[in-house]
């Protein structure tokens, strides 16, 4: 039986970005990448290499000086601000290094917040929300507030909030950077579980070789560029292979 080819859900082509208009130096230069449906891609690079900037461009939070981003086949930057916001809400979920939970809201309220922002009634999505809570083992935490949670618990809430609307794409910015090693490993396993359960495509940026190895494909950002000839793929992908490639590239 012939397998269906997976379609690209996010395509970036020749992105370039500078913090100052008209500047000669670019943080990112000619960056191109493709994220297929259900794929788990990680981008590896040291602090300050432009990983967060890349996510901001892919998510429409920053506008590139050059290049395009297609989200679900639609040119993100050819849209009005309003239509761009609607596209982002439809297609994207975000997971941040510092969680970005609202401190005055309970865990339950933080999780349903994206639905409220989108003008949806959480009561109409109760079954889906209960499933997310179960997948991320948050049943006993729903009435607590963020200040009473551990880092790992807060990140689980952050993931639940990000997938509450079942977005096709999850953008993750150093999601274990503020966690202990044990909590970080648990968080990465949850990303794999979420991808398998919901078919969500994940693009995760990190400076951690262990985290990068969870991806189906690892890309390396160096001097503001992604060179596809240096990427890693395949069943033998592990942290040692990622670390070896980092040494090879002098990153």
DSSP 24-52: S--SEEEEEEEEETT-EEEEE--TTSSHH
Q: What is the pLDDT of residues 77-108, one digit of tens each?
A: 999 999 999 999 999 999 998 889 999 999 99
CATH at residue 70 = 3.40.50.300
Residue 2 pLDDT class (50, 70, 90 cuts): very low
Tally of domains within the chain: 1
Sequence-distant (≥ 6) Cβ neighbours of residue 148 within 8 angstroms: none
Distances (CA, A) of 97 to 57, 173, 198: 17, 6, 22
pLDDT value for 186: 95
Cα four-point dihedral sign 131, 135, 139, 143? negative
Cα four-point dihedral sign 55, 33, 242, 3? positive
DSSP 135-151: HTT-GGGTTS-GGGS-H
Mean pLDDT within 168-174: 96
Within a domain: 65: yes
Q: What is the pLDDT of residues 190-219, one digit of tens each?
A: 999 999 999 999 999 999 999 999 999 999
How many angstroms separate the first and last alpha carbons of the chain? Answer: 43
Residue 5 pLDDT class (50, 70, 90 cuts): low
Please tell me the pTM assigned to this model: 0.91
**Long-range own/partner contacts, residues 118-127 (CB < 8 A, 24 or more apart):** 118/89, 118/165, 120/165, 125/164
Within a domain: 161: no
pLDDT value for 210: 94
Within a domain: 238: yes
Within a domain: 123: no
Within a domain: 21: yes
pLDDT value for 3: 46
CA 12 remoteness from chain centre: 15
C-alpha triplet 29, 221, 241: angle, nearest 5°? 155
Within a domain: 118: no
Q: Over 60: is that where the pLDDT of 119 sits?
A: yes
Who wins on pLDDT, 1 or 137? 137
Within a domain: 149: no
Q: Are 151 and 179 in contact (CB under 8 A)?
A: yes
Instruction: For residues 64 and 18, give the distance between their C-alpha atoms in angstroms, rounded to a whole number.
Output: 8
Mean pLDDT, rounded, of the chain:
91
Within a domain: 114: no
**Residue 219, both tokens:** 């890309």
pLDDT value for 1: 40
Instruction: For residues 122 and 64, give the distance between their C-alpha atoms in angstroms, rounded to a whole number.
Output: 35
Instruction: For residues 209 and 126, give the distance between their C-alpha atoms in angstroms, rounded to a whole number.
Output: 37
Structural domain span for residue 72: 8-99+167-249
Query: How do 225-226 and 8-17 pair as beta strands?
Result: unpaired
Tell me if residue 229 falls in helix, strand or coil: helix
Q: Over 70: is that where the pLDDT of 21 sits?
A: no
Q: What is the pLDDT of residues 50-67, one digit of tens each?
A: 899 999 999 999 999 999
Mean pLDDT within 117-141: 91
């Amino acid at each position: 039986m012939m397998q269906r080819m997976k379609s690209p859900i996010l395509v970036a082509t020749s992105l370039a970005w500078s913090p100052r208009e008209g500047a000669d130096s670019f943080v990112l230069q000619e960056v191109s990448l493709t994220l297929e449906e259900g794929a788990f891609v990680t981008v590896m690079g040291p602090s300050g290499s432009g990983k967060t900037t890349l996510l901001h461009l892919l998510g429409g939070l920053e506008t590139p000086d050059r290049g395009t981003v297609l989200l679900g086949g639609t040119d993100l930057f050819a849209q009005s601000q309003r239509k761009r916001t609607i596209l982002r809400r439809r297609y994207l979920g975000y997971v941040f290094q510092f969680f970005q939970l609202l401190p005055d809201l309970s865990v339950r309220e933080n999780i349903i917040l994206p639905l409220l922002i989108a003008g949806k009634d959480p009561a109409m999505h109760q079954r889906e929300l209960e499933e997310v809570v179960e997948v991320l083992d948050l049943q006993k935490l729903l009435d607590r507030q963020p200040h009473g949670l551990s880092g790992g618990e807060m990140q689980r809430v952050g993931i639940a909030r990000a997938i509450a609307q079942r977005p096709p794409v999850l953008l993750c910015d150093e999601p274990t950077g503020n966690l202990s090693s044990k909590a970080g490993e648990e968080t990465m396993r949850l990303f794999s579980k979420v991808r398998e359960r919901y078919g969500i495509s994940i693009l995760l940026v990190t400076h951690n070789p262990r985290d990068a190895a969870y991806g189906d494909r690892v890309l390396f950002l160096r001097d503001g560029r992604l060179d596809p000839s240096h990427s890693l793929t395949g069943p033998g992908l592990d942290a040692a292979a990622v670390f070896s490639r980092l040494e090879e590239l002098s990153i």
